[in-house]
Structure 1
Amino acid sequence: MTASSHTARAHSFNAVAAQYAANRPSYPPALLDAVEDLAGRPLAGARVLDVGAGTGISSAVLRVRGARVVGVEPGEGMAAEFHRGLPGVPVVRGDGNALPFADASADAVTYAQSWHWTDPARAVPEALRVLRPGGALALWWNTTAPGVPWTERQRERIAQHLGVDDVGGRGGAAPRAALDALPVPLDFAARSVPWSRHVPVDTHLANLGSHSMFLVRGARDSAAFLAAERDRLLAEFPGGSVEERYVVELLVAVAP
């Protein structure tokens, strides 16, 4: 992916922030249990910088756990949706490559679905700078669980539509890529957390359509594919709902 296409994909979410907030999956309580276990401290009372916070999906679950969350989001549309959904949680404009916070000011820095939008050569030193000794850098991704027949068939159709060999997003790939790109070695512990949600077909398709691979294709092209996909899914699931199965891939490193 070229630098310009990477930037275009990163900014594509701002135009569909409400759709993103309404249809993207959240995260299960077991994920936060794993974060606490690997970090060696509770989230309750911790000052957490949630970087690439988007519309606040991860910030919301961190807040429920008792964390003192500050969202960090570069996109105007996403930050505005964050304000609407979480009016009591501060969100600042910025990104992980230059965190607008003082040294040793955070107990945890989290990246939910967002680490791959950073430059690791800048984001790693920044995270270590703002973390207090013993603080945690936590990265996680909701990935599509492998081996589910209907989602595997859908992945093949998407790849064919986009003209690529694979669309990514399957369990394990994002964390491995994140570790390969680190400028300095960090002692990350890993955990995989499976979960699922049952949603209407239209919610599933709205979730799918909020991904950058569709957003940068143009509305007409994406709408045609998603309309055909709706017909296929309703034929396969006449009840009108599907089970989306996920594996949250988690990496946690504790700052020295």
Structure 2
Amino acid sequence: MKFDLHTHHDRCGHAQGKIRDYIEAAIAGGLSVIGIADHSPYFGSTEDQAQPQIAMAKSEFPRYIEEVLQLKQEYKGKIDVLLGVESDFFPEHAEIYREEYKKYPFDYIIGSVHLSGGVSIFNRNRWKKLNDAQKVEHKEEYYRLIAESARAGMFHILGHIDAMKGFYPEFSNISTPKVNDTLKVIGECGVAIEINTSGNTKDVGGWYPSDEILERALHYGVEVTFGSDAHIPSRVGDEWNEVSAKLKEIGFKHWVYFKNQQKQVVPL
């Protein structure tokens, strides 16, 4: 069975199409399960919509939930529509986010680190003029935050755990034991990681995380799931078959998705 847990829509300000468009694309692509997981509002901000081109307004969040739940019922028997959210992880605001999420019947929550050291992980300029030691420091801070997000107990899935390479492919060559340490923490915490194929839309190409990280994830007993991170409907389920084949090659026997916050195991 095919599933995709990571899709967006126009509420976040940088994706195209309505939720229904992604569901219809999933049906056309032969998926059995489609998860809607748009970007969380900036709950730690005093503004209703702190970043209009990045995340939805706080006032829009209940309407987002309502629409997904309505579509879940409408498409029942055709495709399993799951309610998710891609949550930013800000340690200083974690409790605010936690309390917000308790209000709604999420099937799962994806935790993603998008800012590290106060700078977007996709900002290619952060690497300019850094020496080798400073590059290691930047990478280690990113993985420190990912490990902290795993320990937070808020998330079922961690999003795109090496996405810092998106516009800086050399990121993967920065050597540090912090990556292995973080994977060990993720495994111990029982949180899944996604294979996210949106690297195809960035300079790096391919997907997140790298094959090497996936091999280490298997070693540490980390569960894996699939997310296209589609921001246009045509990318729903993008490279699902290729990812499935690669996971089997690496040695994974199954992958998972979450429904009613319970792990569902799908054999590979």
Q: Shared fold (TM-score greater than 0.5)?
A: no
Q: With structure 2 as the length reference, what TM-score do the two structures score?
A: 0.34
Q: With structure 1 as the length reference, what TM-score do the two structures score?
A: 0.35
Greater relative contact order: 1 or 2 (C-alpha under 8 angstroms, separation 6 or more)?
1
